[in-house]
Amino acid sequence: MNFYNSSDILETINMIHSENLDIRTITMGISLFDCVSDDTERLCERIYDKITKRAEGLVKTGEDIEKKYGIPIINKRVAVTPVSLIGGGADPDGYVKIAKTLDRAAKALGINFIGGFSALTQKGMTLGAKNLLDAVPQALSQTDALCSSVNVASTKAGINMDAVVICANIIKELAYLTREDRSIGCAKFVVFANSPEDNPFMAGAFNGIGEPEAVINVGVSGPGVVASAIRRAGDCDLSTLAETVKKTAFKITRVGQLVAREAAERLGVPFGIVDLSLAPTPAIGDSVAHIIEEMGIEKCGGCGTTACLALLNDAVKKGGVMASSHVGGLSGAFIPVSEDAGMINAVECGALSIEKLEAMTAVCSVGLDMIAIPGDTPQAVIAGLIADEISIGVVNTKTTAVRVIPAYGKKVGDKVSLGGLLGDAPVMKISSYSPEKFISRGGRIPAPIHSLKN
């Protein structure tokens, strides 16, 4: 059945040409469970063969769909089973070999990133998870396309503070090991609470244990489209504003569903989900901060910003679920600092602080994302920052995450140019008061009382 007509296509063309609408990513999830082997060399061989065979048509399919509909598809990516689950008896050196194999497969396919060098540690750490975490600094500093994530908490399990401390150490080591390249290794590592199994966005994408053998997940974008719709709506009341965003999100999500279904059909794998997140870019006119300012806040970060973001996130989700029966991933408004021109400007003029960003993450998708902090920030402070953000996710039964860059040799007021979609990160001030005594207690912060739901 054809759900689309010529007027839908014409409206989409206008969004593309005038309002920066794009498909941010087509991500193929691939299960690696059948690659398991006690021999690391054999495991690497199986991983490479399976990924390159399963995803061999991914890039061409994306390009063909771009040509057919004129819809820009910015990234083509692969996400695999969390590697700590299939690493067998590999030691840290073995996990580095697996990392290099994944990177080699990504380059052979011509994709942007490959995700899944990941571990699930919310309630404790297996030997495989510990060995993978030990390998992350070397793995990410010696590869280009590989991304890594760690789930350190969930609403059901609470927060594994031992894992939080390890992740803070990883971030500091990555910043040092990639110091000659803007500490960029940290941009490929993210720490989660309640990590979704069908997320198409890096650095947190992996193919969860409940996912199919292979699956296509699509992430749409379109902050510029939403900002334009709000601008056209003029001085309407807030209910009308919410309806405007909801209708716009519906249209954006339909575009994503069109691309996702066609890609899945062409590649011969199931369609998984459309992630309808508003993912900004450094391009002017493609900013979530600018949406908030169109709503009536003088500068993103001012009082009222969190309320605007709550309205936006809710309306985006309501519009999206009407457009597709399979909405998943993270779905909402992303607020990565370096990847959003409006956020960068808000930080530079002093309107937006880390503390305000943390408050905003209580009502939006993900969390403290792509934030640069001074390179000499102590490990304990980074662990405290992670714990604060992860707590928001655990208590509010939502996904939150931290992707932070302690930029080596940089101080507050400097800027780190990360390039491409990663943008320019202004180095933000972070409290230097130490949480070390609290962090060093270790153990697990218990799950909140509302976790007792069965």
Q: Domain extents for the chain?
A: 27-193, 219-444
CATH of domain 27-193: 3.20.70.20
Helix (H, G, I), strand (E, B) or coil at 116: strand
Looking at CATH, the fold of the domain delimited by 219-444 is given as Anaerobic Ribonucleotide-triphosphate Reductase Large Chain (3.20.70)
Average pLDDT for 222-234: 85
Domains 27-193 and 219-444 share a fold: yes
Rounded Cα gap, residues 249 and 377, in angstroms: 39
Q: How many CB atoms lie within 10 A of CB 284?
A: 11
Flag whether pLDDT at 434 surpasses 90.
yes
Mean pLDDT over all residues of the chain? 88
Flag whether pLDDT at 284 surpasses 70.
no
pLDDT digits (tens, 9 = 90+) for 385-426: 999 999 999 999 999 999 999 999 899 989 888 877 777 889
Rounded Cα gap, residues 37 and 58, in angstroms: 27
pLDDT band at residue 306 using 50, 70 and 90 as cut-offs: very high
Flag whether pLDDT at 17 surpasses 60.
no
Q: Is the peptide bond before 346 cis (omega within 30 degrees of 0)?
A: no
pLDDT given for residue 8 in this prediction: 56
In the block, tokens 């794009």 appear at 22
CA angle 197, 170, 426 (to 5 degrees): 90
pLDDT digits (tens, 9 = 90+) for 242-276: 999 988 888 888 888 888 888 998 999 999 888 87
CA dihedral 72, 337, 364, 378 (to 10 degrees): 140
**Distance between start and end Cα atoms, the chain:** 38
Rounded Cα gap, residues 59 and 397, in angstroms: 35
pLDDT given for residue 9 in this prediction: 53
Can you say how many angstroms the Cα of residue 391 is from the centroid of all Cα atoms in its chain?
A: 18
Q: Which sign, positive or negative, has the C-alpha torsion 193, 194, 198, 199? A: negative
Rounded Cα gap, residues 44 and 362, in angstroms: 40
- Residue 149 is encoded by which pair of tokens? 């994530």
pLDDT given for residue 1 in this prediction: 45
- Residue 450 is encoded by which pair of tokens? 């509302």
Statement: the pTM of the whole predicted model exceeds 0.75: yes
